[in-house]
Amino acid sequence: MVRQQQAAGADLDPYFPANGDPRYRVHRYELALDYRPGPNRLSGTARLNAIAGRSPLAEFQLNLADFRVGRLRVDGRTPHYTHRGGRLRIRPAKPVRAGAAFTVEVHWSGNPKPVRSPWGGLGWEELEDGALVASQPVGAPSWYPCNDRPADKASYQIAVTTPSAYSVVAGGRLLTRTPKASTTTWVYEQSAPTSSYLVGLSIGKYQTVLLGDPGLGGVPQTGHVPVRLLTEFSRDFARQPAMMALFEELFGPYPFGEYAVVVTEEELDVPVEAQGLSLFGANHVDGARGSERLVAHELAHQWFGNSVSIADWRHIWLNEGFAKYAEWLWSERSGGRPAQVLAGLAHRGLAGQPQDLRLSDPGRKLMFDDRLYQRGGLVLHAVRCALGDEAFFRMLRGWAAVHRGGVVTTTAFVAHVARYAAEPVDELFASWVHETALPPLPVAVALPLPSAGGVIPARPPYPPT
């Protein structure tokens, strides 16, 4: 037992060692939830199909917030367990053999609420009329039992029963919607490997609209919006299909089967990315495209952060830096300011702030600092300047393709970039990623963005703002 715990400790997330258990992995979750918005009452059943690691599992843990746990089974047998401090420690009746498949069934109920964190409440949030989930980085246990580590990616089936006046939106494909008396059950399937914090869910009173022309093919895109915001939404998200087309051109095929956006009735501090789904607040819809860069940012996360996921939270710049640079690419491509101009603005802003952020290991305190986003975007711009556009965009498409559905680290990205570079890139990454002092602003050699078949015309084909 002691050796097993020591081995697990070597792979724990250094920022959140209480979350996740590297001694096993889950390859599928099947969640059946019943939610009543009025009393904010949630009851659920989870079935986890998992595989033990290289050592026998005499015990393991799931993360689950302060719910009442009812029945719990491992391979159909009742285990010994304790549930304290958000950790469900389970000791099977018989140890699971190394490398063996096993199942866990958990029944739980209670009043869901956000889990506490240095950034406020995370996870399940009760709204005035409905609920939403915003879990990054460790909020998933606020509503279901999970192996809460970004590297443990699994497929999901989620069934939610709620009063019929409410719509349920989750990431993935809607399989069925079944009314029964006064309730409706919605069943979603997300077959692509998904990190626990990226399982998105929203329950509210929405009007569903299509984005783009479904008759033209491409990625199905839907919006779920309060009726009072439909007019503003129709303008603010009008260019999202063009963003999708551009990002597919620059990053490679969209990695999932569909993409949905939800606008809540209430304000949110920032939009929230989930797999195949992004959630925006009413404050992000103004009818004047005032938050269009955020629309681009959240869409880009579907490639960088969701499909290509980080091994642990030290590498979060690989999520946020890529999404930040996608904002600049969209601006450049759609008739706005070029990436070089936006990089200059970001550089000047960073130059006037403390030089104590190390991208490769920012620490838990600074992992959501705006400087990480800006400097992460500048890393991508520096790589683009060093490689040239043709090699840079081949590199991005290769990164998204090779690691689709997988997990990555900063070291892996450096090695990947080196394969496309004519000269060594070690000093570039040492100064931009591993050191704290801000390097000089990189200067682009060429501005036109290449398409998969050549150079994109300088004149933007998408309607300008």
Domains, the chain, ranges and CATH? Answer: 1-203 (2.60.40.1730), 206-302 (3.30.2010.30), 309-455 (1.10.390.10)
Q: How far is it, in rounded angstroms, from Cα 360 to Cα 231?
A: 43
**Is 80 assigned to a binding site?**
no
Contacts of 329 (CB under 8 A, 6+ apart): 246, 250, 339, 449
In DSSP terms, 35 is beta-bridged to: 42
Taking Cα atoms as reference points, which of 75, 47, 76, 77 lies closest to residue 62?
Answer: 47
Contacts of 163 (CB under 8 A, 6+ apart): 36, 37, 182, 183, 184
Q: How far is it, in rounded angstroms, from Cα 203 to Cα 304?
A: 26
**Contact criterion met (CB below 8 Å) for 384 and 449:** no
**Is 301 assigned to a binding site?**
yes
Positive or negative torsion for Cα 351, 357, 360, 362: negative
β-pairing verdict for 454-455 and 68-74: unpaired
Q: What phi and psi values does residue 201 have, to the nearest 5 degrees? A: -155, 140
| Coil, strand or helix at 442 | coil
Q: How far is it, in rounded angstroms, from Cα 392 to Cα 401?
A: 14
Phi/psi region, residue 333 (left: phi>0; alpha: psi -120 to 50; beta: rest), is alpha
Taking Cα atoms as reference points, which of 171, 141, 146, 108 lies closest to residue 29?
Answer: 146
List, for residues 283-331, the tens digit of each pLDDT value: 999 999 999 999 999 999 999 999 999 999 999 999 999 999 999 999 9
Task: Please count the other Cβ atoms lying within 10 Å of the Cβ belonging to residue 346.
Answer: 22
Q: What phi and psi values does residue 104 have, to the nearest 5 degrees? A: -130, 135
Residue type, 428: L
Give 411-422 as a DSSP string: HHHHHHHHTT-S
pLDDT of 339 reads 96
Q: How far is it, in rounded angstroms, from Cα 343 to Cα 339?
A: 6
- pTM: predicted TM-score of the whole model, two decimal places: 0.93
pLDDT of 218 reads 87
Q: Element (H or E) spanning 231, and its range?
A: helix 230-236
pLDDT of 204 reads 97
pLDDT of 460 reads 39
pLDDT of 457 reads 35
Which residue is it, tokens 């000047």? 348
231 alpha-carbon distance from chain centroid: 28
β-pairing verdict for 87-91 and 80-84: antiparallel
pLDDT of 443 reads 85
Structure tokens at 110: 């209670």
In DSSP terms, 260 is beta-bridged to: 222, 277
Q: How far is it, in rounded angstroms, from Cα 261 to Cα 110?
A: 28
β-pairing verdict for 41-52 and 80-84: unpaired
Positive or negative torsion for Cα 284, 224, 298, 272: positive
pLDDT of 11 reads 82
415 alpha-carbon distance from chain centroid: 24
Which residue is it, tokens 């329950």? 203
Count the residues in the chain.
Answer: 465
Q: Element (H or E) spanning 262, and its range?
A: strand 259-263
Taking Cα atoms as reference points, which of 254, 173, 260 lies closest to residue 223?
Answer: 260
Taking Cα atoms as reference points, which of 19, 309, 17 lies closest to residue 148?
Answer: 19
Which residue is it, tokens 């609420």? 113
**Is 434 assigned to a binding site?**
no
Q: Would you call the peptide bond into 137 cis, given omega within 30 degrees of 0 as the criterion?
A: yes
Which residue is it, tokens 């050191």? 435
DSSP 462: S
Q: Element (H or E) spanning 293, and its range?
A: helix 292-300
Task: Please count the other Cβ atoms lying within 10 Å of the Cβ belonging to residue 230.
Answer: 14
Q: What phi and psi values does residue 239 have, to the nearest 5 degrees? A: -95, 5
The segments of the chain whose pLDDT lies below 70 read 1-10, 214-216, 444-465
**Contact criterion met (CB below 8 Å) for 170 and 277:** yes
- The long-range contacts involving 96-99, CB below 8 angstroms and separated by at least 24 positions, are 96/24, 96/52, 96/56, 96/57, 96/60, 97/52, 97/56, 98/52, 98/53, 98/54, 98/55, 98/56, 99/51, 99/52, 99/53, 99/54
pLDDT of 235 reads 96
**Contact criterion met (CB below 8 Å) for 201 and 44:** no
Q: How far is it, in rounded angstroms, from Cα 314 to Cα 385?
A: 25
